[in-house]
Amino acid sequence: GAVVSQHPSRVICKSGTSVKIECRSLDFQATTMFWYRQFPKKSLMLMATSNEGSKATYEQGVEKDKFLINHASLTLSTLTVTSAHPEDSSFYICSLRVNQETQYFGPGTRLLVL
């Protein structure tokens, strides 16, 4: 069965609004989750590492004030895209570390900003 869920699976919003995407661990307590972004026909790009109870670690070039990450519990991490613009339209995917060797990915959230 699924290990990771994401909500919503699809979202359309107007430019300038904020969108929150949830990533839930269904079977494991995850101290670390990861957020990726994928543009059409491109590979996944890591955006940030979400750490439970502390600040997220962002990859170079990712604006932390635009992509707000909150990891308030061991089963939930949220990504909020603030003041969304059409160029933020993408496929957002989270993952969690199950053990030292394995990560499982969520089904992804497709964001379209009009």
Partner 1 sequence: DAKTTQPPSMDCAEGRAANLPCNHSTISGNEYVYWYRQIHSQGPQYIIHGLKNNETNEMASLIITEDRKSSTLILPHATLRDTAVYYCIVRVAWGAQKLVFGQGTRLTINP
Stretch that binds partner 1, among 14-22, 62-70, 76-84, 102-110 (CB under 8 A): 102-110
In the complex with partner 1, which residue's Cβ is closer, 14 or 99?
A: 99
What's the gap between Cα 93 and its chain centre?
A: 5
CB atoms within 10 A of CB 32: 15
C-beta of 76: minimal distance to partner 1 in Å?
A: 17
Q: Tell me the Cα Rg of the chain.
A: 13
- In terms of DSSP H, where are the helices of 1-113? none
Stretch that binds partner 1, among 11-19, 43-51, 63-71, 77-85 (CB under 8 A): 43-51
